Amino acid sequence: MTQNNIVTGEIASGKSEFCKILSKLGYSVYYADKYTKMQYNKENLNQLENIFEFKIDLLNIDYRKLREIIVNDSKKKRKLEKFLWPKILLSIKKDIEKDNKIQKKKFCFIEIPLYFEARDIVDKILTPNKIIYIKRSYESRLEDLIKRDKISPRLAKNHIDTLKYDSENYNKVDYIIDNNLDLNSLEKKAKNMIKLLETGEVIK
């Protein structure tokens, strides 16, 4: 049976870059954000419009606008997560099982930005093997978020401060990957983590 490993971390911490490295190393990676966007479909449209309280054009979805609403409205955020998380996770699980039938692999990785907020249902559906936390400085995340999303420093700061994790969550993870250097350093840390998962040894 494939062991499901969760990759998480705060916004703009480098989760996707880390997962790209894992993919390059030959491991299957599933991105929760991708599965979230797949749920914006005709079947779910009425419920989504009820949550956001406006019409959604499925042919021209402004995901940035939707995210800003969720960041600033905790009530809508809770409703959306309660509605979408089971669908997202079951879709991921289905794809993992399908891929495992084609080519059985010991490990796979699932990037879930808000893992700790949805931990109970994630653990119930995906039964994670290990939790990997990508850690990066506030200043680096702020700078990258402004560039990546082309938003103002004020809005970027609001996103980071609203979606921040409690420091006690560090005690709930298996690996903390410090991502404050360059991609070469991040790749070495990814290889070390894989080595630990495989054998318990660390690459010197």
Domains, the chain, in order of start with CATH, read 3-198 (3.40.50.300)
Q: What's the pLDDT at 75?
A: 96
Smallest Cα–Cα separation from 6: which of 97, 93, 122, 106?
122
Q: Which residues are annotated as a binding site for ATP?
A: 12-17
Amino acid at the residue 131: I
Low-confidence residues in the chain, pLDDT < 70: 200-204
The DSSP element (H or E) to which 143 belongs, if any, is helix 138-149
Q: Which residues are annotated as a binding site?
A: 12-17
Q: What's the pLDDT at 190?
A: 96
Q: What's the pLDDT at 169?
A: 79
Compute the mean pLDDT over every residue in the chain, rounded to the nearest whole number.
93
Q: What's the pLDDT at 167?
A: 75
| C-alpha torsion 72→78→81→82, nearest 10 | -160
Q: Which residues of 49-64 are buried (b: 16+ CB within 10 A; e: fewer)?
A: eebbeeebeeeeeeee
Q: What's the pLDDT at 162?
A: 86
Q: What's the pLDDT at 204?
A: 47
Kindly write down the DSSP assignment for every residue of 59-119, as one continuous string: TS--HHHHHHHHHH-HHHHHHHHHHHHHHHHHHHHHHHHHHHHHS--SEEEEE-TTGGGGH
